[in-house]
Amino acid sequence: MSEQLRYDGRVAVVTGAGAGLGREYALLFGSRGAKVVVNDLGGSFQGEGASKRAADVVVDEIRARGGTAVADYNSVVDGAKVIETAIKNFGRVDILVNNAGILRDRSIAKTTDQDWDLVHAVHLKGSFKCTQAAWPYMRKQNYGRIIMTSSNSGMYGNFGQANYSAAKMGLVGLANTVAIEGQKNNIHCNVIIPTAASRMTEGILPDILFNELKPHLIAPVVAYLCHESCENNGSYIESAAGWATKLQIVRGKGTVLRTSIDEKTISPEYVKSVWSKVTDMADAEPVVEIARASGYLLEVLENLKEGKLGGIEDTFKYNSKDLILYALGIGATVKNGNDLKYLYENHPEFSAIPTYFVMPALMLSLTSNLVANALPSGNAHLSNILHGEQYLEIFDDLPTSGTLTTVGKVFDVMDKGSGALVVTNSDTYDKKGRLLVKNQSSIFVLGAGKFGGKKSPIAGVVPIVPAPKRNPDSTIHYKTSEDQAALYRLSGDLNPLHIDSDFAAVAGFNTPILHGLCSLGFSIRAVLAQYASNNPVLFKAVKVRFSAPVIPGQTLRIDMWKEAKRIHFTTTVVETGKEAISGGYVDLKDTSAKL
Ligand code: NAI
């Protein structure tokens, strides 16, 4: 074990050190070179009476073991007097363990003002007064170690201890601020949450526990927290029976409640609709600093002002299996050695086919009422919507697993007569707030038109671009499998339209149809293979219009035209000669092809 931790030259004030835990702290400090002020009022555990005996006995014990100690009989409420004892006798104060305490347990109905006030006075005010009195000395010497004593009753609550648990939680708040104010002067403040056998817990803890919960098992934890080598500041440490752990306040990811900077967009109904996200703790993270906590809020506000936020937020988790399933769903195959990097997680270049990243936006759309809420009729459901157009643009490296956040909002709504066209924009970020991809989806809602809306898109709706008039520069054929939709849907779009004949009939199709985004995936594979050496990193953006359905099992013909770094393409169903994707193009960052 490393060298013994010593406290030579240090002066430690331990309040309530005449018994229980405080006594053990005082004995340990005394045995390791500290000069100890043994403070104790010496009253009953309910805070009645006073006696010098409690403190004197402990002082004698320390001295008998060769240590240095003086007694202080003041109440901690007179903190200045307690600290004065340290200054008068030893000239300084380095360590302050605020430990003194009493109990006046009553149910809420029976708690008197005196029960409330006395408990708060000893625990909360007493700890503050001692800290305040020690403060100027600690600041001047640029050193201090302060402990606040909280309790499980404060952290977790306990029947019959309203006064005590409130005071004990108050000490956590006090410690938070003392830690912040002391930081620049090397004054650290930490919280101990002990459980130990003492006169306070006698009769409360079961016998079998009581006998094991020896107070001296906690003293080393407090002693270390008060050593100059301990860097913790503002930590909460729970300890009992020779066990210790850190406790932390965690905060969920939360969700933005405003759909724009306009405050009127917040309503109780909206709060209710997103309550599960407000209370979702799946991605909770510790709140370590108030500055960071409010920094985040400022960021949210800034983003709202710039129109970056607002809208529905959704979390999207994925891993290598999801990427592989998607790759299989759009026809990647081990028969093509070049595809192995999409199908095998241990491949040195394992990567996502970039169009996988339409999924976060799609899932947000499917799990929210984004589209329906944009329509006067509110009538959009799985059997009356069709994917009209899709735009995807990549902004940063695409991780092969992670948890992403997508913020989606309705960007434009058009009245096309036979239906409404709803355009949504979704931006997807990683955990660090890096923008990874932008998606724009146009959803055609059958039968939702004729509401008197405009026909043309606003600026910002990405248009399709017709292919050049010449013959295609290259063509690739891919045959889809009869199970293509059955496989592809496992990537997330479970709309029965793609697998259930009865449902397809209701939606007006003779047979289940392939997902438009699946045909898009096949087409992207063709473009990457032909013009980017199948290198996904070269992919920048894609835009398509889904103009006719594809039936699983049909063959796709992808015709491509190269215009600098833009590859125009159309995707046609060979069996019917009908164009399934029109006006499509892929923008590459670079192209491997000479043509
Ligand atoms: P204890 O009753 O054995 O020791 C507390 C000491 O504080 C007593 O010697 C008492 O005379 C002294 N004291 C009371 N009022 C005072 C005042 N106004 N000024 C100066 N001294 C005063 O109790 P124990 O168990 O050792 O508790 C120590 C601290 O740990 C307390 O703050 C208590 O709330 C806390 N705690 C104890 C737990 C346990 O399981 N024992 C659990 C959670 C917290």
Q: What is the pLDDT of residues 27-36, one digit of tens each?
A: 999 999 999 9
161 lines ligand 1 (CB under 6 A): no
Residue 91, judged by CB atoms within 10 A of its CB (0-12, 13-18, 19+), counts as: exposed
pLDDT of residue 530: 95
Question: CB of 352 closer than 6 A to ligand 1?
Answer: no
**What pLDDT, on the 0 to 100 scale, is given for residue 595?**
41
Q: Helix, strand or coil for residue 507?
A: coil
Confidence at residue 466, expressed as pLDDT on a 0 to 100 scale: 95
The pLDDT > 70 percentage for the chain reads 93
- Does the structure show a pLDDT above 50 at 594? no
Class of CATH domain 250-310? mainly alpha
Average pLDDT, the chain: 91
Q: What share of the chain is helix, strand, coil (3-state, %, to 5)?
A: 35, 25, 40
Tens digit of each residue's pLDDT (9 = 90 or more) over 551-589 = 999 999 999 999 999 999 999 999 999 999 999 999 999
Beta carbon of 408 within 6 Å of any ligand 1 atom:
no
Predicted local confidence at residue 211, as pLDDT? 82
Which of 161-175, 300-314, 472-486, 507-521 shows the lowest mean pLDDT across its residues?
300-314
Tell whether the torsion through CA atoms of 123, 129, 133 and 138 is positive or negative. positive
pLDDT at 370: 76
* Domains 11-247 and 250-310 belong to one CATH topology: no
pLDDT at site 446: 85
The CATH code of domain 11-247 reads 3.40.50.720
pLDDT tier at 289, thresholds 50, 70, 90: low
pLDDT range class, residue 304, cuts 50, 70, 90: low
Query: What stretch of H or E contains 183?
Result: none
pLDDT in tens, 490-544: 999 898 989 999 988 988 889 999 999 999 999 999 999 999 999 999 999 999 9
Choose among 213, 294, 322, 308: nearest CA to 258.
Answer: 308
- Among residues of the chain, what percentage have pLDDT more than 90? 71
- Residues contacting 295, CB < 8 A, separation 6+: none
pLDDT for the residue 381: 74
CATH 3.10.129.10 holds for 315-374+456-588: yes
Q: 297: Cβ–Cβ under 8 A, 6 or more apart, which residues?
A: none
Give the per-residue SS3 of 519-546: HHHHHHHHHHHHHCCCCHHHEEEEEEEE
Q: Mention every residue, 6+ apart, whose C-beta is less than 8 A from residue 311.
A: 256, 259, 370, 407, 408, 409, 410
pLDDT in tens, 198-231: 887 887 777 877 888 899 999 999 999 999 999 9
Of residues 593 and 101, the one with the higher pLDDT is: 101
Does ligand 1 lie within 6 Å of residue 512's CB atom?
A: no
**380-439 pLDDT tens trace:** 777 788 889 999 999 999 999 999 999 888 888 898 888 889 999 999 998 888 899 999
Ligand 1 nearest atom to the CA of residue 44, by list position = 11
Residue 241 to residue 213: CA distance in whole angstroms: 5
Active-site annotation, residues: 164
Give residue 293's pLDDT: 52
pLDDT of residue 235 exceeding 50, the answer is yes
CA of 5 to the centre of ligand 1 (A): 26
Pairwise CA distance, residues 192 & 221, whole Å: 8
Q: Identify the band that residue 265 occupies on the pLDDT scale cut at 50, 70 and 90.
A: low
CA 18 to ligand 1 centroid distance, Å: 9
- How far CA 298 is from CA of 5, 293, 301, 304, 399, in Å, comes to 43, 9, 5, 10, 28
| Residue 213 alpha carbon, nearest atom of ligand 1 | 40
pLDDT over 60 (residue 290): no
Q: Can you give the residue ranges of every domain in the chain? A: 11-247, 250-310, 315-374+456-588
pLDDT in tens, 45-85: 888 988 999 999 999 999 999 999 999 999 999 999 999 99
Q: Is the CB of 151 under 6 A from ligand 1?
A: yes
Q: Which atom of ligand 1 is nearest to the CA of 123?
A: 32
Structure tokens at 556: 């796709």
- 128-134: average pLDDT: 98
- Please tell me whether residue 62 adopts helix, strand or coil conformation: helix
**Residue 591 has which token pair?**
């192209």
**pLDDT at residue 306 greater than cutoff 70:** no
Q: How confident is the model at residue 157 (pLDDT cuts 50, 70, 90)?
A: very high
Query: Comparing 229-238, 353-362, 372-381, 530-539, which segment has the lowest mean pLDDT?
Result: 372-381
